């Protein structure tokens, strides 16, 4: 394969070698097996990555365990773990344009997004958790003994790193998700084996080059590429893995949770969603209409918190739905390297089939398309931004995650329905409420069963704010101070003075 690919708007995109990063060394998969990589905007084959076997995974986990137990790692000053993350942040900033172009090539998302969102989010997360490395604190407690034996009893607690973490990531925010696993793991003293999605591994491999350049100790961060059912499963089942940090679909998350139970591995599961966007009649429609479009269409709807169910009060329903459909019709689809492009392709042929199938099922069940509802007739996995009205909560498309640029609009007749409608889903990841009435906004925020509720905005994520899902949307929280619980365990030491 060529190791550079020409694309408009900048230097040729360099493709990192499709090897595995194990114990500070790049190696091919022991089986020699590879996986082809396609540009979703052109369907052109652009690279191959290694398909790691169970033996490769074992080597990576053993290396992570050795480093975790090693004296230098155990003795490393917390501030120095933070400095390693800062070095990585500086290297990413140095190469940001190149990495963003690689992400655009591999995932299809527009360059202005990869450069200004994905890369900035990654650098922010490294700095945020770098800061936490020296702020891991325990408690000092006075005990209340049952019998007075003349002693004074005290206890202190300390947070111990869990050990080897398996980080498994999806394809919709490849480098951002990889960093979101690496940064807290290293900050809190764990080591990690990362398995990126087979659909988009290239920027994680490029990150591997920077991990070596930053001088991060060998074995502290390992990268194994490969298919989920082989490489991912071998990693999840490895007995030395103490914690699984997984982001992906609910079906895979359920499988991982079941397999983790045997050894009581710690897990955080960031899974699928079917988030409602709720617009009340008193909302500022100049903001709410573009807000509803922005809740669903960015990243071509491949966002776990995408506002895919749009609930609108009857009095303003037609105006809102027409407005969102007009925006959908004007969005420019195209190659992510073009400055004109607002939306890129979906990730794969499989994904476009899934999205088309769900839209067709919605229409067959009575939903009326106002925009999109078809694939673009051209090379690449482009699906038109789609607005469906006359939705009903019992439709398949109202219940299943589409993970595409498709919103189903439903009218609300009675405000008392909102809580029940919004919560009528197996998911509980995100929700937004659009209203000028502060009381209604906070009342609804308290009633919606979701990990994040936004008021007059949607999809605002920040590393400092805990993030995760309720119900089938996941288990545990990432981001913010919650990550301390996710990557460490408390040890209590009790004493008689």
Q: Which residues are catalytic?
A: 270
**Member of 248, 323, 369, 385 binding ligand NAD (CB under 6 A):** 248
Q: How far is the CB of 39 from ligand NAD (least distance, A)?
A: 18
Contact indicator for 172, 121 with CB cutoff of 8 Å: no
Q: Which of residues 425-444 bind ligand NAD (CB under 6 A)?
A: 429
Kindly tell me which of 228 and 405 has the beta carbon lying closer to ligand NAD.
Answer: 228
Kindly tell me which of 354 and 440 has the beta carbon lying closer to ligand NAD.
Answer: 354
**Member of 132, 171, 434, 479 binding ligand NAD (CB under 6 A):** 171
Q: Which residue is nearest to ligand NAD (CB)?
A: 228
Contact indicator for 304, 429 with CB cutoff of 8 Å: yes
Who contacts 194 (Cβ-Cβ below 8 Å, separation ≥6)? Answer: 167, 168, 169, 178, 181, 182, 204, 221, 222, 223, 224
CA distance 267 to 280: 38
Does residue 61 interact with ligand NAD by CB under 6 A? no
Sheet of 140-142: strand order equals 140-142, 153-161, 488-496
- Residue 190-229 contact track with ligand NAD, rule CB under 6 A, x = bound: -----x-xx-----------------------------xx
Torsion sign (Cα): 111, 401, 284, 463: negative
Kindly tell me which of 434 and 467 has the beta carbon lying closer to ligand NAD.
Answer: 467
Q: How many helices (H) and strands (E) does the chain have?
A: 17, 24
- Residue 109-148 contact track with ligand NAD, rule CB under 6 A, x = bound: ----------------------------------------
Q: How far is the CB of 330 from ligand NAD (least distance, A)?
A: 26
Exposed / middle / buried, residue 445 (Cβ in 10 Å: 0-12, 13-18, 19+): middle
- Using alpha carbons, select from 360, 126, 108, 138 the residue that is nearest to residue 221: 126
Q: How far is the CB of 49 from ligand NAD (least distance, A)?
A: 12
CA distance 14 to 102: 7
Q: Which stretch binds ligand NAD (CB under 6 A): 162-170, 206-214, 280-288, 412-420?
A: 162-170
Query: What's the CA angle centered on 343, arms 203 and 298, to 5 degrees?
Result: 80
Does residue 401 interact with ligand NAD by CB under 6 A? yes
Q: Which stretch binds ligand NAD (CB under 6 A): 28-36, 82-90, 242-250, 284-292?
A: 242-250
Q: Which of residues 93-112 bind ligand NAD (CB under 6 A)?
A: none
Does residue 172 interact with ligand NAD by CB under 6 A? yes
Q: How far is CA 56 from the centre of its chain?
A: 25
Does residue 168 interact with ligand NAD by CB under 6 A? yes
Contact indicator for 307, 275 with CB cutoff of 8 Å: yes
Which 8-state DSSP code applies to residue 403?
-
Q: Which of residues 284-323 bind ligand NAD (CB under 6 A)?
A: 304
Kindly tell me which of 102 and 312 has the beta carbon lying closer to ligand NAD.
Answer: 102
Q: How many CB atoms lie within 10 A of CB 284?
A: 12
The contact set with ligand NAD (CB under 6 A) reads 168-172, 195, 197-198, 228-229, 232-233, 236, 247-249, 252, 255-256, 270-273, 304, 401, 403, 429, 469, 474
């Amino acid at each position: 394969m060529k190791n550079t690919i020409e694309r408009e708007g900048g230097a040729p995109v360099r493709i990192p070698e499709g090897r595995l990063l194990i114990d500070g060394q790049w190696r091919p998969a022991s089986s020699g097996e590879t996986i082809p990589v396609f540009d979703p905007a052109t369907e052109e084959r652009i690279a191959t990555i290694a398909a790691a076997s169970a033996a490769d995974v074992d080597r990576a986990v053993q290396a992570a365990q050795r480093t975790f137990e090693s004296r230098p790692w155990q003795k490393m000053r917390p501030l120095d773990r933070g400095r390693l993350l800062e070095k990585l942040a500086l290297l990413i900033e140095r190469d940001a344009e190149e990495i963003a172009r690689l992400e655009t090539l591999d995932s299809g998302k527009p360059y202005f997004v990869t450069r200004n969102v994905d890369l900035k989010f990654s650098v922010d997360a490294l700095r945020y958790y770098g800061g936490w490395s020296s702020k891991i604190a325990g408690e000092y407690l006075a005990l209340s003994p049952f019998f007075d034996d003349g002693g004074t009893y005290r206890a202190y607690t300390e947070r111990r790193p869990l050990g080897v973490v398996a980080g498994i990531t999806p394809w919709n925010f490849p480098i951002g998700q990889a960093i979101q696993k690496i940064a807290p793991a290293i900050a809190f003293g764990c080591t990690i084996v990362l398995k990126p999605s087979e659909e988009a591994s290239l920027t994680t491999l490029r990150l591997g080059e920077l991990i070596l350049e930053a001088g991060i100790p060998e074995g502290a961060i390992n990268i194994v590429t490969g298919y989920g059912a082989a490489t991912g499963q071998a990693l999840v089942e490895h007995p030395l893995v103490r914690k699984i940090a997984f982001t992906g679909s609910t079906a895979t998350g359920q499988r991982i949770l079941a397999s983790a139970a045997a050894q009581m591995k710690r897990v955080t599961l960031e899974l699928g969603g079917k988030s409602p966007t709720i617009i009340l009649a008193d909302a500022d429609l100049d903001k709410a209409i573009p807000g509803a479009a922005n809740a669903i269409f960015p990243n071509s709807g491949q966002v776990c918190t995408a506002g895919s169910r749009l609930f609108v009060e009857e009095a303003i329903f037609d105006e809102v739905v027409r407005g969102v459909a007009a925006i959908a019709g004007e969005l420019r689809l195209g190659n992510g390297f073009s400055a004109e492009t607002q939306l890129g392709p979906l990730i794969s042929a499989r994904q476009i089939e899934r999205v088309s199938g769900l839209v067709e099922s919605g229409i067959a069940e009575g939903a009326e398309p106002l925009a999109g509802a078809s694939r673009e007739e051209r090379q690449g996995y482009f699906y038109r931004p789609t607005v469906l009205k006359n939705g009903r909560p019992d439709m398949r498309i109202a219940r299943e995650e589409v993970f595409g640029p498709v919103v189903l609009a439903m009218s609300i007749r009675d405000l008392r329905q909102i809580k029940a409608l919004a919560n009528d889903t197996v998911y509980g990841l995100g929700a937004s409420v659009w209203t000028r009435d502060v009381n209604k906004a906070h009342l609804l925020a308290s009633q919606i069963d979701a990990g994040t509720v936004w008021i007059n905005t949607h999809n605002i994520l920040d590393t400092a704010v805990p993030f995760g899902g309720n119900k089938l949307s996941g288990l545990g929280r990432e981001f913010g101070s919650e990550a301390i619980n996710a990557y460490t365990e408390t040890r209590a030491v009790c004493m008689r003075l």
